[in-house]
A and B are shown apart, each in its own frame.
Chain A
Amino acid sequence: MIQLQNVGKAYETRRGPRWVFRNVNLTIGRGEKIGILGRNGAGKSTLIRMISGIEQLNEGRIVSDMSISWPLAFSGAFQQSLTGVDNVRFICRVYNKNVDDVIALVDDFAELGSYMHEPIKSYSAGMRARLGFGISLAVDFDCFLIDEIVAVGDARFQQKCHEELFVKRQDRAMIIVSHSDGYIREHCDWAGVLAQQTLTTFPDMDEAYAFYKAHERE
């Protein structure tokens, strides 16, 4: 279970601290799949960065007894100048995984072929997404944090992600962040909406979407 208790985050700006959100409360059980909707700048990415533990909270606390992935996003997690293989090695050392096993799995999932031996900066967005996904699947977590990223892949990649995440890893929790409701509607059990500097959760997807629509223009 992951529990967010009155979580708040502020960023230092030139005119003093600016709250992104406050009083965020959220509980995610094992195997639960939840979506977070919000328009650009509502704090979606910030929220999952805090859940993953890479950004500090300004107030409240997060309690968890599950292993949580890094945010699978467009950027981050890789050293651009290093090759795919070197990045895999680094991540394996950090998470204490066997390098050879992970490379075999990543190779199989990401289908990058000889690009594995090229620097990440030469990758397309889709290739980077495939590599990031491949590694996180190989390292394996109780909860995966997904920041928009599935959308960048082609149909084949999306199919593979679906298979790996929602069929083979049905028992894992997932937090998916997006500004479009299609993907979330399809894959999540329930959703929360980030608006008015806080998170409002809805057990029903239609209600969440209606609320999101109503606050989209703020």
Chain B
Amino acid sequence: MTQMQEPQPTSFLRSWAIQRRVIGALLMREVITRYGRKNIGFLWLFVEPMVFTIGITLIWTATRGAHGSDLPIAAFALTGYSSVLVWRNMPSRLVNSIEPNLSLMYHRNVKILDIFAARLLLEGTGVGISFFVLTLFFAGIGWLGLPEDPIKVVFGWIMLAWFGSALGMFIGALSHRSALVDKFWSPLAYLLFPLSGAAFLLETLPPEFREWIMLLPMIHGVEYVRDGFFGSHFTPYYDMQYMAICNLVLTLFAFSEIRRASRNLVPA
């Protein structure tokens, strides 16, 4: 079942160059189809998540009574909602993303993985820039202090992005097999939001309940990001090794599902 169709034997560097080119082309196309060239165009990429995050931050700040008094509420809201955006938006962008791109796969070098990669890069960049800019902005106006340990924040966020990408690729490929995936993902994402740790700290939960909820991989990422941001204000709970294993398993599932989808793919 081999196909060798490049004019010269394909070295790793050569295929890397092709893949970079293809993903670049897909990125440009995605930006044009999604944001167009009207008004602020591709700036929506990070303005949109910023608007959401600002809204959530304002609401949570106004209702701060519900949370511990010592907590930097703006930092709590910003880290919480930015985390949700990563693990929720990445999969949402990949559900049903194969079908509308089938015509592009008429070009041999454009594969499902490239389409996924372009969308994930775009989504990750948008949410990442939003998180970064808002951190500086809120710090500038005195709503929060800069992260106590920026490296920790970045690492935690990368782990969340990995989780989002792996989950996204898995259900993105699965949605090509069954239309039910699309129907289930929206409610599931909605239900997971309150459980994902965005709106609470694990230390505030009863220990029996905390044990159960820590089965959710993303909660470890959120707690880790918050530990880096304002760790001196609370007791974080996380097991990054557990999260890494979950991510890895999910990534393997994703690749096997993509392989399956590629085998049965009919570009049209």
Contacts and interface: CB of A to CB of B under 8 A. Distances in A.
Nearest to A139: B107
A86 interface: yes
Interface in A49-102: 49, 52-68, 70-71, 75-82, 86, 89-91, 93-96
Contacts of A65: 7
B21 A77 contact: no
Contacts of A62: 3-5
Contacts of B104: 77, 79, 90
Contacts of B106: 52, 54, 70-71, 76-77
A44 to B, nearest CB: 14
Interface stretch (B130-138, B194-202, B207-215, B257-265): B257-265
B59 interface: no
A138 to B, nearest CB: 14
B33 A90 contact: no
A63 B7 contact: no
B111 to A, nearest CB: 10
A12 interface: yes
Contacts of A91: 107
B266 A55 contact: yes
Given A54-B108, A55-B266, A90 B2 contact: no
Contact of A56 (B1, B21, B33, B110): B1
B24 interface: yes
A62 B4 CA distance: 7
B103 A94 contact: no
B109 A49 contact: no
B25 interface: yes
Contacts of A79: 29, 33, 103-104
Contacts of B5: 53, 62, 64, 68
Contacts of B22: 93-94
B32 interface: yes
Contacts of A63: 4
A146 B2 CA distance: 24
Interface residues of A, number: 39
A178 B136 CA distance: 63
B105 interface: yes
Contact of B110 (A59, A68, A94): A94
A61 B264 CA distance: 17
B267 interface: yes
Nearest to B110: A94
Nearest to B263: A56
Interface string B236-268: 000000000000000000000000001111111
Contacts of A56: 1, 3, 262-263, 265
B103 A78 contact: yes
B109 to A, nearest CB: 6
A53 B2 CA distance: 11
B29 A90 contact: yes
Contacts of A93: 21-22, 24-25, 28
Contacts of B25: 89-90, 93-94
Contacts of A12: 264
B187 to A, nearest CB: 28
Interface in A146-176: none
Interface centre among B2, B265, B267 (most CB of A within 10 A): B267
Contacts of A58: 1
14 contacts: A11-B264, A55-B266, A56-B1, A57-B1, A61-B4, A76-B103, A76-B267, A77-B104, A81-B33, A82-B33, A93-B24, A94-B21, A94-B110, A95-B107
Interface of A: 11-12, 49, 52-68, 70-71, 75-82, 86, 89-91, 93-96, 142
Given A56-B263, A80-B103, 18 more contacts: A53-B5, A53-B108, A54-B106, A56-B1, A59-B1, A60-B1, A62-B3, A62-B4, A64-B5, A71-B106, A75-B268, A77-B103, A77-B106, A77-B107, A86-B29, A90-B25, A90-B28, A91-B107
Nearest first, the 9 closest Cβ-Cβ pairs linking A and B are A93-B25, A53-B108, A77-B106, A76-B106, A70-B106, A53-B5, A61-B2, A64-B5, A54-B267
